[in-house]
Structure 1
Amino acid sequence: MSEVIPNAVAAESQTVLPPVDRAPLRRRRWRAVGVQLGCIAVTVFMALPIVLIGLSAVSSRETLDKFPKPLIPDHFSGETLSSFFRATGTVPAFGNSVLVGLYTVFWSLVIGAPAGYALARYAFRGKDTYQVFILLVRALPIVVLSVPLATIFLHAHVYDTVLAVTLVHTTLALPTTVLITASIFVAVPADLEEAAQVFGCTRWQAARKVVVPLALPGLAASSIFTFVLSWNEILGATIVTLGHRTLPAQVLTSLSEASAPYRFAGGFALIIPALLFILVMRRYLVNMWGTTLR
C-alpha cells in the first residue's frame, strides 16, 4: 500500500498540462495599442493646426516674412498679437462675442431646459416626431434663417445690435439644447421627484430642489456646447450686423485686406477663449448625456 501512494504522486507530477493559448491576450494587447495610436493620431490631427497658429501668432514679423517659414520661430514676440488688438474694432468685437455667447447660453437654457424637461417627463402624441422636427432648424443652411431674421430685425429696429446676434445664435442652439437637456433629465430618476412630492413639495419645488441640482453638471456641459457654437458662428453674425460685429465676423470681413500677422493673430484670438471655457468646464463634459447619473 505504501508503494502505491508514491507511484500515484509520481504519476500526477508527470502529467503534462496543455499549453496556454496566449493568442487572445496578444490580440487584446494589439487592440489596446491600436486604440492608443488612433487616439494619438486624432489628437495630433486636431491639435497641430492650433499649435501652428499659436506659434505664428507669437512670432515676429521678420519670422513671418521668411520663406520658407521655420516650423519653430527663431524668437518669440508679442508684436503680432499686440498689433491685432490695437487694430480698429477688435476690442469692441471681442466684447460683443463674449456678451453674445453668454446671452445665448442663458436664453438657450431658460427656453430649452424646460422643453427638455417636458420631453423627459411627459408622454404625448407626436413626441418622437417633434424631436425630429426641431432638428430641422439645424438641417437648414444658416443663410435661410439669417436673411428672413435680418428683415425682421430691420423692421423691429434691432438690426446691427448684440440682441440681433443673440437671437440668431439662440435659434441655432435651441434644438441641440432641448435634446441634450432631455437626455440629462431622463437620467435623473423620477422616483426622487415623486418622493419629494410625497413629502409636500409641489412639482415645481421638486424640480427646482431635486432634479435641477442633480442635472446641474449636465446642464453645465450643455452650456459648453452652446457657448462654443455661438463663439464660432460667423455667417449669421455677418449678415445681421454691420458696425457692431462679433470677433469672428470682424476677422472674416477684414481677411481680404489684412496682412499675414493679422490673420494668424486673429485665428489665435478666436481659438483661445473657447479653449479656456472648455478647460474650465471640462469636468462636466462627461455629463453631457447624463452618463454619471444612471
Structure 2
Amino acid sequence: MILPEIDRAPLRRRRWRAIGVQVACIVITVFMLLPMVLIGLTAVSSPAALLEFPRPFIPSGFSADTLLAFVQATGTIPALGNSLLAGVYTVLLSLLVGAPAGYALARYAFRGKDTYQVFMLLARALPIVVLSVPLATLFLNAGVYDTVFAVTLLHTTLAMPTTVLISASVFVSVPTDVEEAARVFGCSRFEAARRVVFPLAAPGLAAASIFTFVLSWNEILGAAVITLGHRTLPAQVLASLGEAPQTYRFAGGFALILPALVFIFVMRRYLVNMWGTTLR
C-alpha cells in the first residue's frame, strides 16, 4: 500500500510565520534600544571623545567625568530627589484612588458605565498645557505652587485613567467565585476584597504602578510650568539646556532614562500579568 505524500506546505508556512514574527520583534527591539545605547555610550565617553568628528559608534575613550559633571551641577541632586518623590507619591495616590475605582468597574454594573470609562480618557486627550496652566493658577491660590505635592497632583491626574482601566482589567481576571466563597465563610464584601481579591490582583496592580511611575518620571512640560525652585529632574534638564555644556546634555539624557529602566527591570515579572502571563 502506497501512502500519499505528506503535504509539508502548512508546516513550512507556520515555520516562516514564526521566523517572521521573531525577526519583527528583533527589529522593533533594536529600534527602541539603539537610542538608549547611543545615549549611554555618550554619557560614559570622555570629554575629549565627545569633541571628535566624525564621532565613532564606539567612543575612543571612556570616562566618568561626563556623568560626574552632570551630578555635580547645581540643582541636579535636589531635582533627582524631587522626581523620585513625585514618582513614588504618584504611584501610591493613583493606586489608592484608582484601584477601588477599577474594582467597582469590574464588579458592578451601573448606568453610564461605558460613558464613564470614555470620559476618564478625556484627561489624556487634552494637551498637557491645557491642564497645567489652570492647575498652576489653582495651586497658586491654594499655596502649594512650586512643591512636590503639586507635581504629584498633576501626575496623578494624568495617570488616573490608565490606572483605573488597567486595574479594572486586572480585577475582571480574578474569578468572582473566589470572592463569593470568601463571603460564604463569613467575610464581608470589604474583607473579601481586602483578603482575597486584592492579593490575587497584586501582580497586575504592580504592572499598573510601572506605567504610573514611568509616566511621572518622564513628564516634563507640566512640571516645568508648576515649579520653579523645586523642579523635577526632567524639568531641571529642560531649563538648563540653553546654557548647559554638551557633557551635561548627554549625561542628562542618560540620567533621565536610567531610573525608569531600573524600575521596569525590577518589576518586569509583573509587567505582562494583566494579559495572563508571567515573566520569570
Report TM bin, short chain: over 0.9
Structure 2 residue runs without a partner (length 5+): none
Q: Does 1:235 align with 2:221?
A: yes
Provide the rounded CA distance (Å) in 2 between the counterparts of 1:136 and 1:51.
Answer: 35
Query: For 1:179, what is the secondary structure of its paired residue?
Result: helix
Q: Does 1:204 align with 2:199?
A: no
The answer to whether the 8 A contact 1:108-1:170 is kept is yes
Cα distance, 1:195 vs structure 2 = 1.1
Show the counterpart of 2:199. 213
Identity, % of aligned pairs? 76
The answer to whether the 8 A contact 1:218-1:290 is kept is no
Q: Does 1:157 align with 2:143?
A: yes
The CA RMSD over aligned residues, in Å, is 1.0
Provide the rounded CA distance (Å) in 2 between the counterparts of 1:94 and 1:231.
Answer: 10
Q: Which range is displaced more, 246-255 or 18-27?
A: 18-27
Q: CA distance change for structure 1 residues 211 and 290 in 2, over 3 Å: closer, same or farther?
A: farther
Cα distance, 1:92 vs structure 2 = 0.3
The answer to whether the 8 A contact 1:117-1:182 is kept is yes
1:103-118 map, 5 Å: 103-118=89-104
Q: Does 1:174 align with 2:160?
A: yes
Provide the rounded CA distance (Å) in 2 between the counterparts of 1:153 and 1:288.
Answer: 36
- The correspondence for 2:34, drawn from 48, 66, 77, is 48
Q: Which residue identity is paired with 1:111?
A: V
Query: For 2:266, what is the secondary structure of its paired residue?
Result: helix
Cα distance, 1:30 vs structure 2 = 1.1
Show the counterpart of 2:176. 190
Show the counterpart of 1:8. none
Show the counterpart of 1:11. none
Question: In the TM superposition, what whole-angstrom CA distance separates every residue of 1:164-189 from its partner, at most 9, and x where no partner exists?
Answer: 10000000000110111011111111
Question: In the TM superposition, what whole-angstrom CA distance separates every residue of 1:15-66 from its partner, at most 9, and x where no partner exists?
Answer: 3322222111111111111111111100110000000000000000100001
Show the counterpart of 1:91. 77
Q: Which range is displaced more, 27-36 or 154-163?
A: 27-36
The answer to whether the 8 A contact 1:113-1:181 is kept is yes
Query: For 2:271, what is the secondary structure of its paired residue?
Result: helix
Provide the rounded CA distance (Å) in 2 between the counterparts of 1:57 and 1:150.
Answer: 34
Provide the rounded CA distance (Å) in 2 between the counterparts of 1:276 and 1:164.
Answer: 25
TM-score relative to the length of structure 2: 0.97
Q: Which residue identity is paired with 2:138?
A: I
Provide the rounded CA distance (Å) in 1 between the counterparts of 2:274 and 2:256.
Answer: 24
Q: Does 1:281 align with 2:262?
A: no
Provide the rounded CA distance (Å) in 2 between the counterparts of 1:290 and 1:92.
Answer: 40
Provide the rounded CA distance (Å) in 1 between the counterparts of 2:273 and 2:114.
Answer: 23
- The correspondence for 1:101, drawn from 84, 87, 104, is 87
Q: CA distance change for structure 1 residues 91 and 42 in 2, over 3 Å: closer, same or farther?
A: same
Show the counterpart of 1:122. 108
Cα distance, 1:291 vs structure 2 = 5.6
Provide the rounded CA distance (Å) in 1 between the counterparts of 2:179 and 2:169.
Answer: 16
Q: Which residue identity is paired with 1:180?
A: I
Show the counterpart of 1:71. 57
Show the counterpart of 2:238. 252
How many residue pairs end up in the alignment? 278
- The correspondence for 1:36, drawn from 9, 19, 22, is 22
Question: In the TM superposition, what whole-angstrom CA distance separates every residue of 1:54-89 from its partner, at most 9, and x where no partner exists?
Answer: 000000010000111111011210000000000000
Provide the rounded CA distance (Å) in 1 between the counterparts of 2:7 and 2:180.
Answer: 54
- The correspondence for 2:212, drawn from 188, 205, 226, is 226
Question: In the TM superposition, what whole-angstrom CA distance separates every residue of 1:99-152 from its partner, at most 9, and x where no partner exists?
Answer: 000000000000000100111111100101101111111000000100000000
Show the counterpart of 2:10. 24
Q: Which range is displaced more, 201-210 or 21-30?
A: 21-30
TM-score relative to the length of structure 1: 0.93
Q: Which residue identity is paired with 2:166?
A: I
